[in-house]
A = this chain, B = another copy of it.
Amino acid sequence: MTTTAAEPIALSRRELNKVATREAIATAALELLRTNGMNGFTADDIAVAAGVSRRTFFNYFSSPEAAVASFTQKYLDKVIEQLLLRPQDEPLLESTQHALTAVAPTDLATLAETFALTQGDAQLSRFQLEAWDNCSSKIIAAIGRRLALPEGEAAGGSDANGELYLHALVQSVIACGRAAVEVWFRRHGADISAASLAQLRELLISAIGHLRTGFHS
């Protein structure tokens, strides 16, 4: 069901170390955020906790905030991964709803937690925003690639007007995702229980549902 589709590429020892280091740094950052709160740790602290030098920390992340945001990035990347597994002729909104349900609850939990933990700090929030926006760009790029290949860019009115359509659609999808998380947080605060997360998933599906049926307030 989870359909991880992990490619069995053999990693060299070096690459393996890099991945491990990156993960150690990221988890150290999250752990410090959990315990010390929003402004309670420095890049030094993260480096020490991860067992690397301060300089090495900056070789992996451009800032402490970026390390935290990597978790949001990772979750959204998994959703994209699932999204691209859906049939190409399926409407995007439907595909998105399926993709959202296909991602494991564990990943959703870290998304929810990091969102909750970053609320209240301006810079952390900005990096969260950036993560969502990167997600937009990636989806637009992927779908744009799909559309460009098969029919030479001039099919179904996809050329000039379609560019705006695509951007508006995808960005709206992301917007609804963020809206769902926001509403969830307003209701449940930092509650990461399974029941609460189920509500969050429900809200995510509903938000996309609103986009499917249209807004006519």
Contact = CB atoms under 8 A, between A and B. Distances in A.
Given A129-B133, A133-B129, A217 B176 contact: no
Q: Tell me the interface secondary structure of chain A in the complex.
A: helix
Contacts of A183: 163-164, 167
Interface in A56-111: 62, 91-93
Contact of A174 (B92, B170, B175, B216): B175
A41 interface: no
Contacts of A168: 175-176, 179-180, 207, 210-211, 215
Interface residues of A, number: 41
Copies of this chain in its oligomeric complex: 2
A127 interface: yes
Contact of A171 (B91, B92, B176, B214): B176
A182 interface: yes
A211 B167 CA distance: 12
Contacts of A180: 164, 167-168
Contacts of A170: 179
Given A126-B127, A129-B129, A217-B91, A163 B186 contact: yes
A11 to B, nearest CB: 28
Given A125-B130, A129-B130, A165 B210 contact: yes
B175 A216 contact: no
B216 A164 contact: no
A9 interface: no
